[in-house]
């Protein structure tokens, strides 16, 4: 079944729809013909993709704190969704040191609130629960983490994602563990994503784009840290594949999946900056890696995505160079072409990505 046929006219609840991933996912599902309700407690940055692309004009936009159990339960009962994509989170490592309790309650208790609301719903629902590659107990080895590897985390953000995983597993095993369960749950773990419309604090790409747009110099904390760079649409396509699989049967119910780029797409931050410089004139940056006061951030973290390939026929579609080009092009349009509709440009990138996936043989993008 084609992915458009799965989601067309379906009622979909997206938590965290104003965030970076959530806004792109909202636009993609709306483009596929879904009826989308988004819930968040506000935008985490100004500007944002949500505001730049004027998503509030085309979505049922609700504002609720994910930690408010009663309000979340009432919303789920009202919407009675066919699909839930749970992305609402405090999604950054460094701010988690400033407010660890908010990070842990948002990411762990918020997850429990969504699942508890689904627990009492008397209809079939597919729930894709998004955690993070930071959920793994990262010892910074050269191998990609597999879904069966140990979970954990040194910093409050990573620990909160490990906690969320335990919450999900508990609900699956305790309440959704029968073959005829109304609720089918999948867990999605993705990593470092880039793309247009991200202005979160302490993020390498938006920091560079904002500085360079103003002809300023950007400080780079960890120029030699290696990351698995992927465009935001890559893991989102994985979330859609997982949702499709769970909708069609319960074979992958309760399973976790990594969605990341191939192993050869891991590059240091300095390589990312070099690649971005091909599409932006007169860049300037400072290496501040030796400055005092930096909190711990992972130097190396990779994912093994063989399970997603085998079970879901999913794999990434873009090369590193294509990922960077698409990302910088979005920001160039935003900063340098004020009359261009960012909504239309974002949709054009979704369509271009879908075509790129089709050309490289990804099953979900096939016309067959």
Give the pLDDT confidence of 180-213 residue by residue, as tens digits. 899 999 999 998 899 999 998 888 999 999 999 9
pLDDT at 179 over 80: no
pTM of the model: 0.95
A 10 A CB-CB count for 11 gives 16
| The two three-digit tokens of residue 105, written as one number | 């309650």
Q: What is the reported pLDDT for 95? A: 86
Cα-to-chain-centroid distance, residue 199: 14
CA dihedral 131, 134, 135, 136 (to 10 degrees): 140
* Percent above pLDDT 90 for the chain: 80
For the ranges 129-133, 218-222, 350-354, which has the lowest average pLDDT? 218-222
Half-sphere exposure of 366 (CA within 13 A, CB side): 9
> Residue 291: its pLDDT value, please?
62
pLDDT of residue 1: 62
Name the CATH superfamily, with its identifier, for domain 3-286+302-361: NAD(P)-binding Rossmann-like Domain (3.40.50.720)
The pLDDT score that the predictor gives to residue 298 is 55
Report the pLDDT value the prediction gives residue 297, as an integer from 0 to 100.
56
User: What residues are paired with 183 via a beta bridge?
Assistant: 125
CA distance 192 to 96: 17
CA–CA distance from 221 to each of 25, 45, 90, 120, 172 (Å)?
30, 21, 21, 46, 40
pLDDT digits (tens, 9 = 90+) for 13-72: 999 999 999 999 999 999 999 999 999 998 888 899 999 999 999 999 999 999 999 999
Task: Encode pLDDT of 315-336 as tens digits.
Answer: 999 999 999 999 999 999 999 9
Non-local (6+) Cβ contacts of 116 within 8 A are 69, 73, 171
CA gap 252, 237 in Å, rounded: 17
Q: Which two tokens stand for residue 346?
A: 């974002």
Q: Where are the alpha helices (DSSP H) in the chain?
A: 3-7, 20-31, 49-52, 69-79, 93-98, 100-104, 110-119, 156-175, 204-213, 233-248, 269-276, 306-312, 320-336, 342-359
pLDDT digits (tens, 9 = 90+) for 104-123: 999 999 999 999 999 999 99
What lies within 8 Å, CB to CB, of 174 at 6+ separation is none
**Whether 346 contacts 331, CB under 8 Å:** no
Q: What residues pair up with 39 in beta bridges, in sequence order?
A: 15, 62
């Amino acid at each position: 079944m084609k992915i458009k046929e799965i989601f067309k006219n379906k009622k979909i609840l997206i938590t965290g729809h104003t965030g970076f991933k959530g806004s792109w996912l909202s636009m993609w599902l709306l483009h596929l013909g879904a009826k989308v309700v988004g819930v968040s407690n506000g935008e985490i940055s100004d500007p944002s993709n949500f505001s730049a692309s004027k998503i509030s004009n085309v979505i049922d936009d609700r504002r609720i704190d994910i930690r408010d159990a009663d309000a979340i339960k009432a919303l789920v009962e009202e919407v009675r969704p066919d699909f839930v994509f749970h992305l609402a989170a405090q999604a950054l490592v460094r701010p988690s040191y400033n407010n660890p309790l908010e990070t842990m309650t948002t990411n762990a208790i918020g997850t429990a609130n969504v699942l508890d609301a689904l627990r009492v719903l008397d209809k079939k629902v597919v729930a894709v629960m998004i955690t993070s590659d930071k959920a793994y107990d990262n010892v910074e080895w050269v191998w990609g983490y597999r879904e069966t590897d140990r979970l954990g985390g040194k910093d409050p953000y990573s620990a909160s994602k490990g906690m969320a995983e335990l919450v999900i597993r508990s609900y699956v095993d305790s309440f959704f563990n029968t073959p005829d369960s109304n609720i089918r749950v999948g867990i999605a773990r993705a990593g470092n994503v880039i793309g247009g419309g991200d202005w979160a604090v302490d993020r390498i790409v938006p920091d560079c784009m904002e500085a360079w747009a103003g002809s300023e110099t950007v400080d780079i904390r960890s120029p030699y840290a290696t990351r698995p760079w992927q465009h935001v649409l890559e893991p989102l396509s994985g979330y859609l594949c997982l949702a499709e699989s769970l909708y069609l049967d319960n074979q992958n119910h309760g399973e976790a999946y990594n969605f990341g780029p191939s192993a050869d797409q891991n590059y240091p931050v300095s390589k990312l900056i070099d690649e971005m410089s091909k599409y932006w004139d007169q860049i300037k940056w400072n290496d501040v890696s030796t400055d005092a006061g930096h909190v711990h951030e992972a130097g190396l973290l990779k994912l093994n995505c063989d399970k997603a390939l085998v079970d879901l026929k999913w794999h990434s579609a873009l090369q590193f160079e294509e990922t960077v080009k698409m990302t910088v092009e979005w920001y160039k349009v935003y900063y340098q072409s004020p009359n261009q509709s960012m909504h239309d440009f974002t949709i054009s990138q979704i369509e271009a990505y879908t075509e790129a996936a089709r050309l490289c043989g990804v099953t979900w993008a096939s016309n067959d």
